[in-house]
Amino acid sequence: MKLTQTEKWLAIGLMVLPGLLALPPCTRAQSPGPAAAQLKMGADLSGVYYPSTARDTLGAATPDNPGQQFVWLDDSGKPIPFPKNLLTEWGKERLARNHPSGENAAGQTTTAYDSDDPDFACFPAGVPRVYLFLYPMQILNTKDGVMMVFEYGHNIRQIFTDGRGHAQDQEPTWMGDSIGHWEGDTLVVETTNQNDRTWLGYGGQPHSDQLKVEERMRKTDAGTLLIDITLIDPKAYTAPLHTRKKYILKPSWNLKEYVCEDNMINFRPFEKQTSTQSK
Amino acid sequence: MSCSPLRLLVVITGCVMFSGMLFAHHGGAEYDSKHPVTLHGTVVELRFINPHALLLFNVKDDAGKLTEWTAELQSPNLLSRRGWSRSTVKPGDQIVVMGHAVKNGAAAMSASKITFEDGRETPNMGLPPDSPN
């Protein structure tokens, strides 16, 4: 049988094709792009951490609430009260609308039961408030970056360091969209695309969906993780806000189960009993 | 200001230093942080469930009337890391509960320290220190 030139090439192709398909993926040509970008680790931040409860400027805003409020810092790093003076009109309106737990200037108490704090309704805390809960957090190294898993409410953050950009044209989410890169041993993270339903703390401090959170995470020694945080939110604040959080490595700890909805089943009746406004 | 017999059992222990309202999941505004209290009672039940363990215990007033109090403890997750278990206190145990009562007058309080009447102590209920363990 005599084959034409075209038929010969077709036959060769049919013989070679199965072999090509059987080649392992790593031998195929790759085009440059985010998926192929080299993932470079600046430092190993992995481990289980607990927020510092030291009563210093990093861990405590008040002696009675170590770690439960952010310590706000001015541009020189000096601790300051929450900078209400930086709120925009939109921010002031939001702050006035929120109904946090605590005691107001007139001495009236709003309990957890009477508050509209989104945390008490089990919504994810958002960034950076997720750092305010006195539960451990685990950092894991993943193939495309770093993952933070928070025991409290099982919140997670995925911080992609593989060169991809922020999500485009998506609905904002509770925990936002975190993109990072390494500057030496410091993981630099930018978080955007958060909704405006979370607060910055127990005081009902607001933020908008334009919030951009810039973080610099680094180990200051083998057992200490320091996170410098800057919040840029022109809709809610006329200037950036600064704060800082310290975590202590707990080598022998592991995360435990914490299901926020247990609050509604087991704890809500007790909260109602302690209410000062509802009977 | 009137005081019920039960209230008279509430011993103001201002000299005791408490570690404050350390509740990780809510602010603690419901408690009268300025006035620590100490109650003596009998354990009814320890509910060792998130977000906060609840200790139910009976307190007897001078007339012999029993009132069931509920004390809020830290979360079981945190307590277990400090050495607590769901059987650290058991029904029938005679205990002393130190903490702060709620502002609204209900038989409810926070607990920052619990001891047994025979002098034994329960593990520390405070927040973990800034150390590796």
pLDDT tens track for A156-195: 999 999 999 999 999 999 999 999 999 999 999 999 999 9
**Taking the domains of chain B in order of start, what are their residue ranges?**
31-116
Report pTM: 0.82
Q: Residue A111: its chain B contacts at CB < 8 A?
A: 26, 29-30
For the stretch B5-31, pLDDT in tens is 443 343 333 333 333 445 555 667 788
Whether the per-residue pLDDT at B87 is higher than 90: the answer is: yes
Exposure of A3 in the CB half-sphere (CA atoms within 13 A): 8
Contact between B104 and A274 using a beta-carbon 8 Å cutoff = yes
Exposure of A163 in the CB half-sphere (CA atoms within 13 A): 9
Q: Residue A262: its chain B contacts at CB < 8 A?
A: 49-51
CA dihedral of A37, A42, A48, A54, whole degrees rounded to 10: -140
Classified by CATH at the fold level, domain B31-116 comes out as OB fold (Dihydrolipoamide Acetyltransferase, E2P) (2.40.50)
- Which residue out of A245, A270, A278 would a mutagenesis test of the B interface target, given it has the greatest number of B Cβ atoms within 10 Å? A270
Tell me which residue in A66, A202, A270 faces B72 most closely, judged by beta carbons.
Answer: A270
- Nearest-angstrom CA–CA distance, A210 and A236: 8
Query: Which segments in chain A show pLDDT lower than 50?
Result: 1, 14, 16-37, 57, 60-61, 63-64, 279
What pLDDT, on a 0 to 100 scale, did the predictor assign at position B2? Answer: 38
3-state class of A270 per DSSP? Answer: helix
For the stretch B115-124, pLDDT in tens is 999 999 999 9
Contact between B24 and A110 using a beta-carbon 8 Å cutoff = no
* Closest to A162 in 3D by CA, of A178, A150, A176: A178
* Closest to A175 in 3D by CA, of A228, A132, A128: A128
Looking at the complex, does the CB of residue A267 fall below 8 Å from at least one CB of chain B? yes
Under 8 Å between Cβ of A163 and A144: no
| Local confidence band at B101 (pLDDT 50, 70, 90 cut-offs) | very high
Tell me which residue in B22, B24, B130 faces A248 most closely, judged by beta carbons.
Answer: B130
Q: Name the minimum distance, in Å, from the CA of B75 to any CA of chain A.
A: 9
The counts of H helices and E strands in chain A are 4, 13
Q: A56: how many CB neighbours lie within 10 A of its CB?
A: 12
Q: Residue A276: its chain B contacts at CB < 8 A?
A: 30, 103-104
Query: What is the per-residue burial (b if ≥16 Cβ within 10 Å, else e) of A246-269?
Result: bbbbbeebebeebebebbeebbee
Residue A123 exposed, middle or buried by CB count within 10 Å (0-12, 13-18, 19+): middle
Task: Give the ipTM of the model, two decimals please.
Answer: 0.80
Under 8 Å between Cβ of B72 and B109: yes
